[in-house]
Amino acid sequence: MDKPKKEPVILNQSPDSKLCLNCGFPNRNTDSQCMYCRTSLIEDSGLFNWIRQTYYILRWRWQLKQKRDSLESKPPIYRSFGFFVLGVILSAAGIFVFTSAMSQNSFSSGLIALLLIGYGVITLKTLFSEK
């Protein structure tokens, strides 16, 4: 596998960008104010500035991760509908097989029916349960 031609700015920390010390937004080196929060981008040097920049980088990445996680936490409506239909079909098939197994006195069909009902109920329970 070939090495990518250019890495993202946040991972590469290229010299043509710098982070805002107030909000952590990546800006160009030519900017005198942050494009996001309009604070001054005058850099201090030393250990305190390095610690502060590290803090803002970590905070920015954490905020991006939180936003991505919040978008991924809600499944799309078609997926929820699909799971609902699957749960209902499995439960209905299990009930149908169970009633036919009871009329035929079939133990193995009864076990299969209980498995189908169980899978249907578990599918519906995970759909409606809160995480």
Question: Taking a C-beta distance cutoff of 8 angstroms, is the pair 27, 17 a contact?
Answer: yes
DSSP codes, 3-19: PPSS--HHHHT-TTEEE
Chain centre distance of CA 66 = 9
pLDDT tens column, 12-59: 455 677 877 777 788 888 888 888 888 777 766 677 777 877 887 888
Question: Taking a C-beta distance cutoff of 8 angstroms, is the pair 27, 41 a contact?
Answer: yes
User: Whole-model pTM?
Assistant: 0.43
Q: Give the pair of three-digit tokens for residue 4.
A: 């990518």
Burial (Cβ within 10 Å: 0-12, 13-18, ≥19) of residue 24: buried
Helix (H/G/I), strand (E/B), else coil: 20 = coil
pLDDT tens column, 68-102: 877 766 667 888 888 899 999 999 999 999 999 99
Q: Closest Cα to residue 17, out of 33, 25, 28, 8?
A: 28
Sequence letter at residue 121: V
Q: Closest Cα to residue 56, out of 111, 103, 19, 105?
A: 19
The pairing of strands 17-19 and 26-28 is antiparallel
